Amino acid sequence: MNALVKNLLENQTKDKIQKPNCQTRSGRSLLAFYLQTKFKQIINHDKKSEKQLIISYKKDFLDNFTDRLINYPENKILIALSGESASGKSTICKKISECIEKLNLPITIVSADNYFKDISHLIEKYGNFDLLRDAGYDLDSPDNFDLDLLKADIIQLQKGFDILSPEYLVNGTGKSKPKSIPVKSRKIIIVEGMCSIYDKVSDIFDIKVYIDLDNDERKKRFLNRAASRNQDELNALKHWDYIVYAGKKYLIPNKNKCDIVINGECDLDYFAHMVEYINLVTNNFYEE
């Protein structure tokens, strides 16, 4: 635990409140008021950082979220984490996974990319993925995800049931293996991937988060990633042109659906600190 978090913990411990009885509506209403107060505290804490994590948020999202907690307390909390390719979705989820391990957080992360439809027959027909793309195949189109299955699986998790998600193989074959990855239903379900804010599924989430990053930094990250995978530079540039096109067509128009926009350039250590801080201030209770 770093010195800053330790100091915050000591200060928070002094201000603990009795845990509301969430079995009653009045108890849940008290919890909602508490969370609204703490959200303001989190925003003010972030504003003191040199490079803030939270760029913007919708003014009504917290009211909507806490209303949901009051009226449907039995449902798990669903969070969509989206953004354009190379904006930092997977990297941030790795950091969240580290925090889950460290703090024993009740969080499950689902990769929405596993819901790509099987295109192995097209890969075989065209020879490889790059030739398929060059023939005009629009990989990131909503039609190429099994959004009906994704929504059905998320609803099962929301209700408290474990699932087996598909697994999309990232080995160039375009194959998808059905019911392959065991996924536990926990208190908070994070669904990471661009398609989490597509029309068919976006409405079921309690909180939608968009990772924002300018194109120059995304391009640098994308080309570095391609080089580390031994991808040809010319081909990587072709694919970069595609994902810029796909971002403009499918992601940016859906950005306005999102409740919170976060900074894709945020330092990962600071991001981990914010996860710890949010966990700390939103669970500052004692029980009799």
> Would 8 be classed as within a structural domain?
no
Q: What is the domain count for the chain?
A: 1
Q: At what angle do helices 25-47 and 268-281 cross, to 10 degrees?
A: 150
Residue 13 lies in a domain: no
Residues forming beta bridges with residue 19, ordered by sequence position: none
Q: Specify whether the backbone of 59 is left (phi greater than 0), alpha (psi in -120 to 50) or beta.
A: alpha
**Domain annotation covers residue 7:** no
Does residue 117 lie in a domain region?
yes
Q: Give the Cα-Cα-Cα angle 109, 101, 28 (nearest 5 degrees).
A: 65
pLDDT at 9: 47
Instruction: Please answer whether residues 71 and 58 qualify as being in contact, where contact means their C-beta atoms are separated by less than 8 angstroms.
Output: no
Secondary structure class of 210 (helix, strand, coil): strand
235 occurs within a structural domain: yes
Going by C-alpha positions, the residue among 153, 166, 167, 180 that lies closest to residue 78 is: 153
Residue 14 lies in a domain: no
pLDDT for 16 equals 72
Domain span at 141 = 23-103+112-282
Residue 70 within a domain: yes
- pLDDT at 81 (0 to 100): 98
Q: What is the mean pLDDT of each run of 10 residues along the chain (288 residues)?
A: 49 66 92 91 92 93 94 96 95 96 96 97 94 93 97 98 96 94 98 97 97 95 84 89 95 96 95 93 72
Determine the pLDDT at residue 21. 87
* CATH code for the domain of 214: 3.40.50.300
With respect to residue 215, please indicate whether it lies within any of the assigned structural domains.
yes
